[in-house]
Each structure stands twice: as structure tokens, then as C-alpha cells.
Structure 1
Amino acid sequence: MFDTIRNHQRWLQFILLLLILPSFAFIGLQGYSSLREGDHSLAKVAGGKVSQQEYDEAMRGQLDQLRATMGAQFDARAFDTPATRKAVLDEIINTRAIVAEADKAHFSASDNQLRQTILTIPAFQENGRFSNDRYVQALAAQGMTPVAFEAQLRRNVSVQQVLGPVAQSAAVPASVFDRVIAAATERRDVQTQRIAIDDYRDKVAVGDADVKAYYDAHQSEFAVPERVDAQYVVLDQAAISGGIQVSDSDVGSYYEQNKARFGQPEQRRASHILITVDAKASEAERAAALKKAQALDQQAKAPGADFAKLARQNSQDPGSAANGGDLDWFGRGMMVKQFEDAAFALKQGEVSDVVPTEYGFHIIKLTGIRPAQTKPLAEVRGQIVDEIRQQQAARQFADAAEQFTNLVYEQSDTLEPAASKFGLKIQTAQGVTRTAAPQDAEPLNNPKVLEALFSDDVLRDKRNSGAIELAPNRLVSVRVAKYEPASVLPLEQVSAQLRQRLIHDKAAELARQAGEEKLKALQAADATAGFGPVVTVARNAPQDMAPALLSAVMKAPADKLPAFVGADTGDAYVIARISKVSPAPALEAQVLSNEKSLMERRWAQAEQLAVLQTLRGKYKAQITEDGERVIAGQRE
């Protein structure tokens, strides 16, 4: 019904992604448009290629999301791992495969599906209900056009049809659920005995020869990648726009020239009763629906009629029926034409005749009118000042960016001229590698900046980098202050730490040997000496038992008790004596229901992953040699 079901970008992508693909937060929306190809593709899927640039943008997006979530705790180096790099590349491949399947199957989304999707997005709701004002404001705040929003949302809803039904139809077999619950809640009475590693430290000796032998055989453990100390300056719009003054005359002229923007067109509020008619309905079915609508129209027009009650009892619009048919405020162009024409022809409190649209038959009651009006200058003055200042700053930044670019290029042996010209601070960062910079040097963690920092011009020839765009209206230039080639830490620097590691390893081996001998003896002849008190544990109630030991305890055969198992727990070898095995008490119905819901979500994820793997095979997804090098961190 809404003709405003439209456009989204940026933060709305995340909202829609949660709505549309709830089990696959790792699947982005970037691949829904044609994707760029590079000379050296990292992957191939569905006849297309994944370029280095596309990968870099996806990685940057992931890091930006993590940075926003983690704040000061974010450290890009912690995510600079093969697993993370592969996950980002897999995300792009998965998206391509899903889009290809949606295209091949000719999936589409109806207008009603779009409307219902919009109504459920929290960003467009106020007090739990869809608000048209909130909707319009949210789009405007992001610079969005309604037409683009509708097109993108329609595409997303269509793509959802690839994996959505898989999740919706997932069901855990009762036998599987029962076995999992039984395994998770089974109780075992256990006593433990620890053979501590520290008790054996004094029994081992590690000489200089042992330390050197390990060091020589494991030099890769002590390798340090090449790194630089970097200098950099950042030019952004805020750095050059602080002194901008906006005069009263500028404000007045701007207001007069943009009066239409500060006007509020006429809006109306209406409630409706909808009797739906399927597009494929027969003439008889349409006639029956019309007859029902006409009867309701007569009831709604009767003196003292309770329109809201009639709507709650009879309307087939799921988005408004529960609210008495209320559709909130809307303006011209926000409803389908037949509905809009009828609503804007009514007087306050008047009920329309039956209005046919593509959705069915409507009975409309006009409940409110907001006349068109223009906001006074005093009310919008602050907004105008901000807009003028932003426009002037943008113009100034464009000029400054050109000067900044020329300065860092023409005087390439120093950043000082560019810093002095714009009052910028030359910042420094130490220990920057090809893949990561310190957390407090955020601009340097941009892949484009790191690539430039280790380029021949900057690294070998000691020149400034060019002006690199970090974001719209934000540039950075970097240079190398000091270079340290890849090296291996010298033995004297790591010997003390290495000696302690070898002592621990040898003591742990002695503790394990002693523990295994004792375990073997106990398995031959039961004894309780040296064991602690009995503790009852379960997979869902570990009682602080170390995971390795808990796993061994729960896996031990229960046909002959007592049973004995042992496991390394990091600081000791621990022997467990299992004296009793018993099922847990029956769980409450609510607990079982919660567990089943959780298991069904995981089951759905597993089935969706299986479908994804099938799609990857169907569309011949493969990671190229260049892609494997990127995953391994071996970028050229």
C-alpha cells in the first residue's frame, strides 16, 4: 500500500541485513550491484571475479565496524590473521553465490512484502509503531531518495528468498533433541587428584646448550617482520573550517532561496479497513470481497459507528488492523494514487465510499489534517547556519586538498610545509608493519595507507606519499622516519624467557608421566587416597572443572564404575575418579522450550551453511593463488 517503501544505504544496510538474513551476519550487501574486477582476482564465482580493491573495501568495512563496537579496546593487529582474512573473502564469495541463485530463480518481492518489511524496521518506529514522520526524517538525514530505497529493499527481500525458507523450515528431530539434552544434563559424581607441574620444576635442568639448540631449531618463532617508524599528517574539513563565520544576510538569502525546503506540505491522517483480493482472484471472488467491503462501508457511515472497532474486527491489513486501522500521518506521493486521491478528497471525520486499489478494497476515514505551512526563519536558523558553514567548508577543503596534494608531492622530503600551511600536527607511530599500525595511529591502519608506506617511493626513496583519501573530506600523507628490516630476535634477548618455557615443558612432561603411571595403577585397582571431595558435574554444569578434564570425564564409559580418566589442564595433570552416573532431573517445560529454540536456530544455521556450500559448488567458487597469498598475508 505504501508507495514510500524505498531507498537505503550505510547504517540501514545493517538493519535490513539483520531483518533479512538473521542467521548470516557475515553476509554483506555489497555484492548486489555489479562488482569491479581487478587484473589479479582473489576469487572467482558465478562467472565473475573478486578484485583486490573489493576485498580491501570489505576488510576496511569489517575493521570499521569492529572499531566502532570495541572503542578503545580495538587493536587491528589482533584481527590481522589468516582466519580473519579468509572470512572476509568468503563473505564476498557467499554473497555473490546467493545473488546468482536469486537471479537464476527469478525471485521477486511484492509491494505488500516491501510494505510489511518497512513497517517492522525499528529505525522507522516510534513507541513500537511505524511512524511516517520518523521514516521520512530517517531517509532525509542519510541523504536518501525514496525511489532508490524501494529498489534496493525489493532486491534484498528477493535475495532473502534463497536462504530464508531454509531457516524457517528447519526442525530438529525429536530423537536428536532428546539425545542432546540427555548428554548435556547427565550428572557424574567425580573426585580429582592433581599432579602439579610446579612440583617437578626443581627436578629438571635446562642448560645453555638446551636453550641454544631450541633457538636454532625454531628461529621462525623469534622472527620479527620488517617495520618502520612513520610520520604522518591528516587534513580534514574540521582542520580548516573552524574560522568560518556566517552573516545574517547570508542566512536570510539562503532562507528565501530555499523556502520550499522549510515548508511542510499538507499532511493527512487516516484509518482504513482493507478487504484484500488476490491478484489471481476470480470474478466471483472479487465480487464477494466488494460486497463485504460495501457492507462494512455502510456500517462505518452509520451514526455513532465505532470505526476503530470495525477495523480491528474486519480489516485484513496486518500492519494497521490491531491499531484500529490507523495509518499515521502521510503526504502526497506516499500512498498508491487511488487511496491518496480518496483520502485528500475527504473532510475531517468523513468516511469514503469503497476505494479499489491493487491491494483490495478500502474504506477510509479521515482522522486528521495538517495544513501546509512554512517554518519561520527563527525556527530553522540553526539548521541554515550549519548548512552554509558546511557548504563553505566543503569549498575551502576542495581548495586546501589541492594545495595539500601539491605540497606533499613537490616538497617530498618533509611534511613540514604541508603541516605549517594548514596548522597541522606531524604525528608519529612506531613499529608499523605491512599489515598493522599501533592502535592510537588509526589512519595508518587503512590498507591503502599501509600499502603506500611500504611502497618503493616512500620506503626506499624516503619520499612523502601522495595525498591518500581516508574518507570524503579527509586526506593523509605519510613518510618513513626509520626502517628496520625483518630480523630474528637475538638469543640473548630471548634466552631467559626461553629457558623458563623449556623448564615448564620438561616439568609438565614429568608430571604427565607420573600421572599416567598413577592412572594406570588406579584403573587396575581402585583407591581413594589422595582424592578430594565428591563433586557432581555435567556438560551444562562444569563446576569450574577444566574443559579438557570435563570432556574426558563425560566421555568415559559408564558401564563399569568407578572409572578413572586423566587430562592435562595447563598447570597440572589431573586424575578424575568417576563413582556415579545419573540422569538429571526432568527439566521444566520453559527450560526445554528455550533449549529447543536455541537448538533450532543452530540447526537452521547449519542447514544454511550446507546450502551455501552447495551454492559455492554450483557457481564454481574458488579462491585463486593471489587470494591464497592475501589470506597468508603475503601481499605484493
Structure 2
Amino acid sequence: MMLDKLREGAQGKVAKVILGLIILSFALAGVGSYLNGPARTAPATVNGTEISAAALENAYRNERARMESQMGEAFSQLAANPDYMKQFRRGVLDRLIDQALLDSKARELGLRISDEQIKQAIVEMPEFAENGKFNNDRYLQLIRRAGMTPEMFRDSLRQDMVRQQLMGALLGTEFSLKGEAEQLDKLYNQTRDLRLVRLAAANYVDDVQVSDNELEQYYKTNGARFMNDEQVKVDYLLLDAANLAKGIKVTEQDAQDYYDQHQDLFQRAERRHVAHILIPFGKDEKAAEQKAEAVLAKAKAGDDFAALAKADSSDTFSAKKGGELDWFEKGVMDPAFEKAAFALNQAGDLSTVVKSPFGFHIIKLLGVEAAQTKPFADVKEETITRLQADKAKELFFAEQQKMADNSFENPDSLDLTADAMGMKVQSSDFFTQASAPAPLNDPKVLSVAFSEQLRDDNTNSDVIELSDGKALVLHITGHQPKAVKPLAEVKEQVIAAIKHDKAGEVARGKAQGLLDKLKVGESITADLTALGLKVETHKGVARFDRELDQNLIAQAFTLPHPKDGKPSVALVAETNGDRVVVALDKVNVPAAASGMAAMLQGQLGQGKAQVSYKSLIDELRKAAKIEYFTSVEATVE
């Protein structure tokens, strides 16, 4: 049985791939129980042990933040769907249950992590390092920022590492053979020679008619294709930091004080002034490097560097000036060039030969300008702008809080909030999620504006922070649900859809006739002439070809290999409704595996590990008593 494997090699290598699927997003999931008491009935129990509401909420927030970071606006749009978010929360709960089952199995197997292992793991974490070494102050700062004490973090880490032992014991036994990967690689890189006869549905649209009965029936059956999108209209108050900044006055003394207190903002980095000689790679990189070494030897021997640059450098622009470049600071030049230039100490120093993507360089230091604070006179306007921005930010947050307080205290409309803040309520027309005007087209705003809960409550929203220094609060004032458009409004669309479908059937019938002849070995040359069709030839079509229709590609790669010089044939409906007769003439198999084979071997091993992980979880779930609790009823697995 698979679980028997876990008792062997329990101290094996950490299985990071699968572990990441179940742990990384929930590293802090148990922390909530330290910070908050249970707010409601546990959402689930595993063998009588509760998954606390606090743990679920914390894991849900962490996973949601991770998804927002990865998907951005796309996730905000998904989050606007209550059904999706209900499934999302259930998925988080299920992963916490899986995690609890793994913890229980690890305890059963007696897996342990010593204090010394915990200490070593913390010291080796790159998140806690500064200049390549563990920094205790940074460690304490980061875990406190996460709301944890050192003891809490060690306990959480110990739990994670025990799970790593468990997963390592399971996944360390999974592998794939080189031959498997090479076979899969050849399948991936296989190509096929095709001949196609395409019958476009559009060519037969004029040959079909639509009756009134067909019109009515199609409209009733396919009403979902002719829907009005859901629409809302809202009142809103918009707070704009840029507008607040316009009213902020900054005196010269204010600017001087700000400059004195924030001189780190007005530092000019160290700059270097160099000359260089560039020898391009040409056709023989080794010869180019030897030439660069020879030029360097001349420069070291005392030859005039400027003259050497004019004679030998391929950087014609700087060569005219003896190789001289403009002053520059770090972060401007190619990394290798920059490193060499900033390693020189005194004017006149020469670098060794330096390789960059452009060729080989010899660098001469002409001057160094140390880092310095820019004079106030040079940065006065910048200082005023910075100070205005800082003051505007402070005012923006203060006004944002004021708006939040007022709209919460007066939830029935935005009028009283507008009066209290000296603002004007703005009103929109009806809009869909796709047609919302700015700033209502922000995904965060759309998620709120189309919220069924907010609409049912008939209250003001929370303050919504936008990405461009703006914030708003809104109140839904109108709603038009999704509904089928009247037939009179969409009659032409319905007729066009019916004609397209019927034309596709005409094309299918003609294509089927051609296919039937090909299957029995008959010639279709005369038929093609009569139908005004031509044969398309496509050699070396790849499995991931993007020029041909994906339905066609998928069908072509399921056809059996041609036999006895006869092609394999099929009829394909393309995504646009056209019908295509496909003839597979030849399958081209690579003689040898490509460079993908090694990667595929790793992926095959990971795939097998994932199957084993799922089998483990399935076994643990079957043996466990899992109860889900909702506001309606309790369910038991």
C-alpha cells in the first residue's frame, strides 16, 4: 500500500514541488489562533479536531492576497462573482483540512524536527539576510511585522518542516526514466504533412432561408445568446490627491526645513569619468581578445591612450574624442563595464581587458566625483514639489478617513457626507462592467458596484482606494438585471445566426460527400472543380501551430499514421463554422530527442509525485471523519 512507503526514508529530501501546493500559501495560516479568539463555530473538524474560524479567515486572506498579487485586475473581476468566491473559500478550507490530515499522519509516523534544525533553517533563510549573512534584527523585524513572536514563528516553521519530511518520504520514491522523457519529447516535436479542402460556411449563406417558425424557435432556445448585460448606476464621491495638492502652499522656509531634514533624498551618487577603447568580437572572438590585450600592453607601456582609441576603437563616436565618455553613475553602463570602471582608484589607472556584449574594452579612469548632497538652490523646486506631495498625502488620508466616517454614519445616501466635506455628489448613467466610465471602470470599483449584498443593503460602500492617488465611496441608485433582449431588437442577429448554422450544415454535407469518396479511394478532382474548391498543402505542421485552427490541429494529431501510401482522412468543424476535409499524408518523427527531454523528465517525475500526493490525501480522507459546518447544516465525510 502506498502509505507503507512513508515509513521508509522519512528523513529524505524536501519535496518542494508538491509542498508548495499545500504549504506556501498558508505558512501563517495557524497564526490567527494566537491573535484572535474564535469568533464563531468552527467551519470544519477533522477527527474531532477543529479547523478554527480564525485559521480559515487568516488562510483565506493570505490566499486572496497571493492571487491578487499574481493575477491583478483579472482576480478582482473574478472576485466580483459571489459564487466564485464561495468556491474559493471552500477550496481554502479543503486545503487546511488536507494540511491537518498530513500533520496527523506525520505525528503517527513519529516524525520530528530538532531545535538545532529549526535554528539552522532560520539562519539560512535569505529573507533574514543582509549582505549575505543572517541578521537577527531583520529577523525579529520581519516576523513582528507578520504579527508573530519568535516562539510562534519557530512553532510554525517546525510544523512546516515536519510536513516537508512527510512529503519527502513520499515524493522521494518517484522518478521517470530517460526513455519515457525522450518518447514524450518526440511526440511533442512530431510534425505532420497535411492536405486540406476548406468549405467556408459563408459561401452558402445566400442559399438558405429562415422561416418565421425557425426564427421564433431559435430565439426561444438560444435566448442566452441575446442577453442584455447587467447594468447599474451609482452616485459617488471622488477624492483626488492631485486636487488636494493644488491648494497646499509651501514657503521657501518650509522647503529649506524639509531639505535640512531629508538630505538623503537629495544625494548625487558617485560618478565616474572614463575613456575606453572597444574591440568588437568580429568573426573570431579569440583574435579580438588578443588584439585587445595587445592594445592594453601599448597603453601600459606609455602609448597615448587617446591616440590608441582613435586608431583602434570601434566606438567611432567616443574614438573621435580619444575614447572619452560622459560622466556616469552606477546603474547606467553594462554591468561588467561598470564593475571594472568603479574598481579603478586614481585618474590614469587602466583596467584589464573587459568583456561585454559589445566586445572587449580597455578602460582608463579620467576622474572621480564623490557622492555629495545637491545644494538647496539646485533642488529648491524639487523640494517644494516633494513637500507638497507629502502634505497632500497626509491630507488625502485624513480626508479619506473623514469620508469613511461620514458615509458610514449616514449610510442611506451620500448627500450628508458631501455636505460635511464640501464635495459634490457625482451621478453616473447606467453602465455595464464593460462600459463603465472612469474612474468607475477600476476593477475594485466594479466589484463593489455590482455587489448584490451592497445593493440589497441599500447602503454606502466602504471607501475604495484606487491606484492613482484617488479614492471614492459609492451608493448604488439603480439596477437592471441581465435579461433576454426583445426579439424585435435582435431579429437581424437571430436571422444571421440561423443562416450561419444552416450554411454550416450545407458545407458539412458537401464536405461529407468528399470525405466518403476519399475513404473508398475515389478521386475528388472533378468535385473540387465543380464546387470551385482548391487543395491547401501544409507540410511540417507542428502540434502547437498557431496559424491553423486549433480544432483542426487537434483532429489532425489524432489521425492514425497513413498506411500503404494512403492518407488518413477526417472531417473537421473549425471554430468559425467552416468544414474542412483533412488528409494526413505523412508523420514526421524527429530522429533524436531535443533539448526539452531533460526538462520533460523532471516534469514527468513531478506529475507522478502529484498523483502519489493525491492518492495519499484520498486515503487519509477516506480513513478520517471530516465534518463541514455551515449556517444551514452540517455535512460529514
Q: TM-score range by the shorter chain?
A: 0.5 to 0.7
Equivalent in 565, 571, 575 of residue 581 of structure 2: 575
How much does 1:535 deviate? 0.8
Preserved CA contact (<8 Å) 2:29 2:58: no
CA distance in 2, matches of 1:55, 1:516: 58
Amino acid at match of 1:591: M
CA drift of 1:150 comes to 2.9
For 2:54 and 2:483, how far apart are their aligned partners in 1?
Answer: 28
The match for 2:598 is 593
The answer (yes or no) to whether the contact 1:31–1:96 under 8 Å persists in 2 is no
2:517·2:523 contact (CA, 8 Å) conserved in 1? no
Structure 1 476/211 Cα, relative in aligned 2: closer, same or farther at 3 Å? same
- 3-state SS of 2:612 partner: helix
Task: Write the deviation string for residues 387-442 of structure 1: whole angstroms up to 9, x where unpaired.
Answer: xx99xx999989995x76774466454313323434566466666899x9987345
Give the CA deviation at 1:475: 9.9
What residue number does 1:156 align with? 160
Task: Give the equivalent residue in structure 2 for 1:415.
Answer: 414
What CA distance in whole angstroms lies between the structure 1 residues aligned with 2:218 and 2:86? Answer: 31
Residue 218 in structure 1 maps to residue 222 in structure 2: yes
* CA apart distance, 1:134: 8.6
In 1, distance between residues paired with 2:83 and 2:188?
33
Residue equivalent to 2:271:
none
Percent identical among aligned pairs is 20
Aligned twin of 1:99: 100
Q: Select the residue among 231, 234, 242 that pairs with 1:230.
A: 234
Structure 1 residues 238 and 470, CA, compared in 2 at 3 Å: closer, same or farther?
A: same
Is the counterpart of residue 190 in structure 1 residue 194 in structure 2? yes
CA RMSD of aligned residues (A): 5.4
Which amino acid is 1:32 matched to?
G
Task: Output the CA distance in 2 between the equivalents of 1:40 and 1:206.
Answer: 60
Residue 200 of structure 1 and its aligned partner are, at CA, apart by: 1.7
| Contact 2:232–2:480 (Cα < 8 Å) also in 1 | yes
Displacement of 1:586 = 0.8
Which letter does structure 2 place at the counterpart of 1:91?
Answer: V
- Aligned equivalent of 2:516: 520
The yes-or-no answer on 1:28 pairing with 2:37 is no
Please state if 1:554 is matched with 2:568. no
Q: Deviations over 1:3-22 (max 9, x none)?
A: xxxxxxxxxxxxx9989833
1:26 Cα shift?
Answer: 8.7
Counterpart residue type for residue 546 of structure 1 = D
Q: Check the 8 A contact 1:232/1:479 in 2, yes or no.
A: yes
One-letter code aligned to 1:551: A
The CA distance in 2 between the partners of 1:524 and 1:131, in whole Å, is 76
* Native 8 Å contact 1:465 1:479 kept in 2: yes
Secondary structure of the 2:535 match is coil
Deviations 1:173-195 (A, max 9, x none): 56644543443344433222212
Cα contact 1:516–1:566 (8 A) shared by 2: yes
Q: Distance in 1 between matches of 2:622 and 2:486?
A: 48
The answer as to whether partners of 2:184 and 2:600 remain within 8 angstroms in 1 is no
Q: Is the 8 A contact 1:42 1:626 kept in 2?
A: no
Which stretches in structure 2 are left out of the alignment for 5+ residues?
1-13, 259-385, 526-533
> 1:574 is aligned with what amino acid?
V
Are the structure 2 counterparts of residues 222 and 620 from structure 1 closer, same or farther at C-alpha, using a change threshold of 3 Å?
A: farther
| Letter of the structure 2 residue corresponding to residue 214 of structure 1 | Y
Deviation at 1:521, TM superposition (A): 1.0
Give the CA deviation at 1:76.
0.6
Offset, 1:577: 1.7
Shift of 1:515: 1.5
From the superposition, tell whether residues 66 and 422 of structure 1 become closer, same or farther in structure 2 (CA, over 3 Å): farther
Between the aligned partners of 1:52 and 1:512, the Cα distance in structure 2 is 59
Offset at residue 91 of structure 1 (A): 3.2
The answer for the alignment partner of 1:603 in structure 2 is 608
- Cα offsets for 1:352-397 (capped at 9, x unmatched): xxxxxxxxxxxxxxxxxxxxxxxxxxxxxxxxxx9xx99xx99998
Secondary structure of 1:414's counterpart equals: coil
Is 2:199 the counterpart of 1:201? no
Residue identity matched to 1:567:
V
Contact 1:23 1:605 in 2 (8 A): no
Residue 506 of structure 2: aligned partner: 510
Preserved contact between residue 27 and residue 94 of structure 1 (Cα < 8 Å): no
Does the 8 Å contact 1:405/1:466 carry over to 2? no
Q: Conserved in 1, the CA contact under 8 Å of 2:106 and 2:163?
A: no
Question: CA separation in 2, counterparts of 1:490 and 1:404?
Answer: 42
Q: Does the Cα contact within 8 Å between 2:236 and 2:427 map onto a contact in 1?
A: yes
Answer yes or no: is the 8 Å Cα contact 2:237–2:423 preserved in 1: yes
Q: CA deviation at 1:109?
A: 3.2
Q: Is the 8 A contact 2:56 2:92 kept in 1?
A: no
1:142 aligns with 2:145: yes
Equivalent position of 1:280 in the other structure: none
Q: Distance in 1 between matches of 2:446 and 2:62?
A: 9
Superposed, 1:448-463 pairs within 5 Å as 450=451, 452-456=453-457, 458=458
What residue identity is the alignment partner of 2:585? S
Secondary structure of residue in 1 paired with 2:575: coil
Q: Is 1:535–2:539 an aligned residue pair?
A: yes
What does residue range 249-264 of structure 1 map to in structure 2 within 5 Å?
A: none
Distance 1:24 1:423, change over 3 A: farther
Q: Distance in 2 between matches of 1:164 and 1:239?
A: 57
Seen in structure 2, the aligned counterparts of structure 1 residues 469 and 444 have a Cα distance that, compared at 3 Å, is: closer
Contact 1:20 1:157 (C-alpha < 8 Å) held by counterparts: no
**2:483 is the counterpart of 1:484:** no
The answer for the alignment partner of 1:76 in structure 2 is: 77
CA deviations over 1:70-98 (Å, ceiling 9, x no partner): 55676615874866753552233122221
The CA distance in 2 between the partners of 1:175 and 1:194, in whole Å, is 39
Q: CA deviation at 1:136?
A: 4.2
Contact 1:192 1:575 in 2 (8 A): yes
**Higher mean displacement: 134-143 or 223-232:** 134-143
The alignment partner of 2:603 has SS state of helix
CA contact (8 A) 1:186 1:582 kept: yes
Distance (whole Å) between structure 1 residues aligned to residue 465 and residue 580 of structure 2: 54
- Cα distance in structure 1, aligned partners of 2:149 and 2:136: 14
The secondary structure found in structure 2 opposite 1:611 is: helix
After superposition, residues 258-277 of structure 1 pair within 5 angstroms as: none
In structure 2, how many angstroms separate the alpha carbons of the residues matched to 1:169 and 1:420? 69
For residues 395 and 155 of structure 2, the distance between their equivalents in structure 1, rounded to whole angstroms, comes to 33
Q: TM-score, normalised by structure 2?
A: 0.57
> 5+ unaligned residues in a row in structure 1: which ranges?
1-15, 252-385, 459-463, 629-636
Q: Give the direction of change, closer, same or farther, for the CA distance of 1:562–1:221 in structure 2 (3 Å limit).
A: closer
Q: Do the aligned partners of 1:233 and 1:427 also contact (CA within 8 Å) in 2?
A: yes
Aligned-partner Cα distance in 2 for 1:179–1:476: 58
What is the CA distance between 1:158 and its match in structure 2?
Answer: 2.9
- When residues 400 and 547 of structure 1 are mapped into structure 2, their CA distance, relative to the original with a 3 A threshold, is closer
Q: CA separation in 1, counterparts of 2:177 and 2:630? A: 42
Q: What residue in structure 2 maps to residue 132 of structure 1? A: 135
- Further displaced range: 38-47 or 612-621: 38-47
Identify the range of structure 1 (189-198 vs 21-30) with the bigger mean alpha-carbon deviation. 21-30
Once residues 80 and 462 of structure 2 are traced to their aligned partners in structure 1, the CA distance between those partners, rounded to angstroms, is: 27
Matched positions, count: 464
Cα deviation, residue 524, structure 1: 0.7
Give 2:60's aligned residue.
Answer: 58
